[in-house]
Amino acid sequence: MADQTRHICGISGGKDSSALALYLRDRVPQMEYFFCDTGAELPETYEFLTRLEVILGKPIARLNSERGFDHWFEVFRGALPSPQMRWCTKVMKIKPIEAWIGDEPAVSYVAIRADEANRKGYISTKPNIESRFPFVEDGVDHDGVMKILDDAGIGLPDYYEWRTRSGCYFCFYQRKAEWVGLAERHPELYERAIAIEQKVLLDAGVNGDADFSERAMAGRQYTWSGGETLVQLRTRRQEILDKHHASMERIHEARRSIPVLEALVGALDDDDDTSACVVCAL
């Protein structure tokens, strides 16, 4: 009887999982590719997935949560998702993946690189799912990932020009400079993120900066970005960009032997690894 085990590879729209999909295209011809669509992804991500499908020669299954962010936002009583309360990943990513896999035996290929072997990815606790880490097994590091993408002629998704990882446009893991990038590249999405935040502040009866800072310190998050609202963050645009460019300069000085874009992506990834949502951003 033929082996019924499914072979699956999740693509977040980030560089590592995209490179893994390309790396495995001919090695695991029966591979099923999937992408968890929260409905709040960046336009650049959708565009990149379309190009990737052409190179893979196969569709990437879009897995949706039964309901979108607005529904779950209500269920969680208007609480913003945050690193401490990451309900978004659970209900909009992990549950749809596990429902899609069901109870059939499956091998899940995870895009953790050889140079970040201590990083944790999505590892299901379901007994029918076995996780494999081909980049760790084969020693593929950051440079190896960039080479796979270059060789395939696809390069990096366009959002890497202003943001270092895939995921929702309102992702709370964004740096301040990335919020500025969102405001400039996608002002309508920035306005939507403001509207969600303003609703949270209004529902909580929070007035004024001091008030929300005190409450935030008490454990609940009232703003997408730490210590200020998105409206306030926007007014500090130049200060934020100046600081960001200064730190990029320092990183570039330290890595003068590496081309600029790789240095930028590599450096930012390096300091992201402890906090980023790896289910969303590999």
Q: Does 93 bind ligand SF4 (CB under 6 A)?
A: yes
Question: Contact at 8 Å (CB) between 233 and 225?
Answer: yes
| Eight-state DSSP code of residue 128 | T
Enumerate residues 6+ apart whose C-beta is below 8 A from 48. 13, 18, 154, 157, 158
Nearer to ligand SF4, 6 or 93 (CB): 93
Nearer to ligand SF4, 68 or 144 (CB): 68
DSSP state letters, 194-263: HHHHHHHHHHTT--HHHHHHHHHHTT---SSBTTB-HHHHHHTHHHHHHHHHHHHHHHHHHTTTS-HHHH
User: Residues 21-40: x/- map of binding to ligand SF4 (CB under 6 A)?
Assistant: -----------------x--
Among residues 19, 20, 92, 140, which is the contact residue for ligand SF4, using CB under 6 A?
92
Q: Does 173 bind ligand SF4 (CB under 6 A)?
A: yes
Among residues 56, 168, 194, 265, which is the contact residue for ligand SF4, using CB under 6 A?
168
Among residues 80, 101, 280, 282, which is the contact residue for ligand SF4, using CB under 6 A?
280
DSSP bridge pairs for 34? 10, 61
Nearest residue to ligand SF4, by Cβ distance, number only = 167
**Among 60, 51, 134, CA closest to 100:** 60
Enter the tokens of residue 85: 């309360």
Nearer to ligand SF4, 211 or 273 (CB): 273
Among residues 17, 65, 82, 89, which is the contact residue for ligand SF4, using CB under 6 A?
89
**Among 133, 104, 114, CA closest to 10:** 133
Mark the segment that binds ligand SF4 (CB under 6 A) among 80-88, 176-184, 190-198, 235-243.
80-88
Q: Is residue 10 classed as helix, strand or coil in its secondary structure? A: strand
**Residues in touch with ligand SF4 (CB under 6 A):** 38, 81, 86, 88-89, 92-93, 167-168, 171, 173, 277, 280
